[in-house]
Amino acid sequence: MSKRLTIGLFGFGVVGQGLYDIISTKDLNIEIRKIAIKNPDKKRSLPDELFTTDANVILNDPEINTIIELINDADAAYEIVTRALKSGKNVVSANKKMIAEHLDELVELQEKYGTSLLYEGSVCGSIPIIRNLEEYYDNELLHSISGIFNGSSNFILSKIANEGLEYADALKQAQDLGFAEKDPILDVGGYDPKYKLVIAAAHAYGLFVRPEEVLNIGIQNFSNADLQFAQEHQLKIKLVPTAKKLNDKELAMYVIPKLVPKSDFLYNVENEYNAVSVKAAFADQQLFYGKGAGGHPTGSAVLSDVAALRYDYRYEYKKFNHDSKLKLQNDHVIPVYIRYNNEDLINSLHFEFIAEQHKSLDLKYVLGGIKISELILKKQDILDDGAFLAQASALTEKFEELKRVKFEKI
């Protein structure tokens, strides 16, 4: 039999309101006792006595046994979540930045205080990927996890490619629809999908990685020249986070745009939709697909966690506890396309090999292999140049031949 949950909700924005809408239509033995908000002057459709601006009203209430944290401020979210866990309250959060930056500590707190922190809504909205990595793939050998983890950037790229919008116009549409923030750098710069990748990798591989150790280069320098290059090769450009097992001891993780062929599941994932592609030794390749942005999709994932808490569900972090031998390897070589402006940038980059270099009045690019560590080191130079970089594994023939010759010489 499920237990009754008495909830203190932090945040009543798009996701908070979406969650409240969903809960109000269900009979789940759940009561939202209090909602903490930032702006008391904003008009709301619910009774005033339901709201408070004092976090302590919720955190110190002994009758509230569950906290739902849905605010944008990662530092404030960390304070709320840690206090709640230490006081014996279970927590549901969708704050991917806070979770990614403090996951190892949050796992220790749950173990120490016998509490549970669930965060399905922090990774890819309505897609139930965390629970599947925890339960369905708990004994699987996972070769890789990749996909489209950010609905905002995917929406922008879709509008440019399919409707001919300029980058600025597509970004404004995403902001007007609530898919992108006023300051969109977390989305278009690849930070948001990086936080999600860090969380997913912890459950898939048992490896806790600091976000700052993971390469992220986004779509902020994307241009019509890059779109034309992709279309000429019958490819699409998507922002794709990747966690790839290199061997029994090493894992590569990075977030960069990718040139995607028609044969790839991700080719047809458009607009604000997300997709997670899992390649496994026994289950082969599987795709999880769903909306990754919006109040109701994310609210549904949060509600799934809340419902699980009625039965005392906890993440077990099985692969961390039983198979945590993997280390992050940033010396892995990835094939890339770099469209650049100044020769100084290309001359400063150390390529492991170059398959093709093109120079014309309209377009200058290099196809080559480069280490992730080199891209981390030169990331700011790449962005300052206005260059656009994308993983180019779809153009494999040239790369495979060059790698074969290179390694035979060694």
CATH 3.30.70 for domain 333-409: yes
Which pLDDT score is estimated for 294? 67
> How high is the mean pLDDT of the chain?
91
At a CB cut-off of 8 Å and minimum separation 6, what does 134 contact?
Answer: 203, 315, 316, 317, 318
For residue 255 the two structure tokens come to: 């977030």
Give the rounded percent of residues in the chain with a pLDDT score beyond 90. Answer: 73
Look at residues 274, 313, 326 and name the one whose alpha carbon lies nearest to residue 142.
326
* More confidently predicted of 377 and 29: 377
What are the tens digits of pLDDT across the range 360-369? 988 999 999 9
> 225 falls in which pLDDT band (50, 70, 90)?
very high
Per-residue confidence band for 398, with pLDDT thresholds at 50, 70 and 90: low
Q: What is the 3-state secondary structure (H, E, C) of 244-269?
A: EECCCCEEEEEEEEEEEECCCHHHHC
Tell me the pLDDT band of 194, cut-offs 50, 70 and 90. very high
pLDDT, one tens digit per residue, over 247-298 is 989 999 999 999 999 999 999 999 999 999 999 988 899 999 998 766 677 8
Q: Give 99-136 pLDDT, tens digit per residue.
A: 999 999 999 999 999 999 999 999 988 899 999 999 88
How many CB atoms neighbour CB 331 within 10 A? 11
Query: How far is 54 from 109, CA to CA, in rounded Å?
Result: 24
Confidence of residue 409 (pLDDT cuts 50, 70, 90): very low
| pLDDT (average), residues 232-258 | 96
Torsion of CA 98, 59, 129, 372, to 10 degrees: 10
Residues 6+ apart with CB under 8 A from 128: 120, 288, 301, 304
159-188 pLDDT per residue, tens: 999 999 999 999 999 988 878 878 899 999
pLDDT at 91 over 70: yes
Which residue ranges make up each domain of the chain?
A: 333-409
Query: Is residue 372 scored above 80 in pLDDT?
Result: yes
Q: Single out the catalytic residue among 89, 159, 196, 319.
A: 196
Beta bridge partners of 289: 275
Q: Which residues make beta-bridge pairs with 338?
A: 366, 389
- Choose among 272, 243, 283: nearest CA to 132: 283
Q: Kindly indicate the confidence band of residue 410, based on its pLDDT and cuts at 50, 70 and 90.
A: very low
Kindly tell me if the per-residue pLDDT of 98 is higher than 60.
yes
Say whether pLDDT at 406 is over 60: no
Using the predicted structure, report yes or no on whether residue 201 has a pLDDT greater than 80.
Answer: yes
Average pLDDT over residues 53-66: 95
DSSP string, 72-107: S-HHHHHHHHHHHHHTT-EEEE--HHHHHHHHHHHH
**Secondary structure string (H, E, C) spanning 267-305:** HHCCCCEEEEEEEECCCEEEEEEEECCCHHHHHHHHHHH
- pLDDT for res 407: 42
Active site residue 238: no
